[in-house]
Amino acid sequence: MKVIIFGATGMIGQGVLRECLLDTDVDAVLAIGRSGTGVKNDKLTDLVHGDLFDLSPIEDRLTGFDACFFCLGVSSAGMKEDAYRRITYDLTMAVAQTLARTSPGLTFVYVSGQGTDSTEQGRTMWARVKGKTENALLAMPFQAYMFRPGFIQAMHGAQSRTRVYRVMYRIFSPLVPVLRKAFPTRITTTEQIGKAMLRVARAGAPKHVLESPDIVALSPQP
């Protein structure tokens, strides 16, 4: 299996990249971003590309892939709706439309979020924009799956690039084992998300919008 990852330097992307490199079914991983991952592995190709809205200069390198794991995203905190929509919706669709041409048989897995508004009509700005993005991806001519995790526990050294999130995770990390025991299907890990994405890419899933319990079910803890 050949896999493309967008956002491999973020917390979720780091976890997904790790699972892809460990998986014996994955032959090659192409990580595309504005900066390199810093990871060295024979399976991995780091492709640094400054303008992710325009992939035409690298389209010839985007053929023959089986899956795209889209882990790229930004916090909506302090952002106007137009700016958030450009990064969340416009950028995602630019990538998806390119891949629909270059690798039409691939499976596209998008990291959304718990509370996303599929109606696109709610009062919460980020949820509306995420809902619009999900709906557009589900209408694309490839298999698409939306992952909606809630609280995510970072594993194996993965960490957020956003300082506020790093501080928050440090504060709450002592409570995570207790919360996981109390709510085993409501908290996911970066490892579980990566493994669940790979399972979906290989065999699909019963539904195309997957909440935290669905993600956990696709990748149970040992």
Which tens digits make up the pLDDT trace of 99-145?
999 999 999 999 999 999 999 999 999 999 999 999 999 999 999 99
Q: Look at residues 54, 60, 117 and name the one whose alpha carbon lies nearest to residue 90.
A: 54
pLDDT at 146 over 60: yes
Tokens at 57, concatenated: 């200069």
Mean pLDDT of the chain: 90
Instruction: State the Cα torsion 87-92-95-97 to the nearest 10°.
Output: -130
Give the per-residue pLDDT at 155: 73
Q: Can you tell me the distance from the alpha carbon of 67 to that of 135, in angstroms, rounded to the nearest whole number?
A: 19
Share of the chain above pLDDT 70, in %: 85
Give the per-residue pLDDT at 207: 96
Domains, the chain, ordered by start: 2-218 (3.40.50.720)
Task: Give the Å distances, CA to CA, from 20 to 13, 60, 138, 150.
Answer: 10, 22, 24, 22
The answer to whether 65 touches 99, Cβ cutoff 8 Å, is yes
The answer to whether 1 touches 27, Cβ cutoff 8 Å, is yes
Confidence class for position 188, pLDDT limits 50, 70, 90? confident
Give the per-residue pLDDT at 87: 95
Partners of 145 in the β-ladder? 109
Give the per-residue pLDDT at 178: 61
pLDDT at 152 over 90: no
Query: How confident is the model over 71-99, as a mean pLDDT?
Result: 95
Give the per-residue pLDDT at 219: 87
Query: How confident is the model over 175-186, as a mean pLDDT?
Result: 62
Query: How confident is the model over 200-220, as a mean pLDDT?
Result: 93
pLDDT at 160 over 90: no
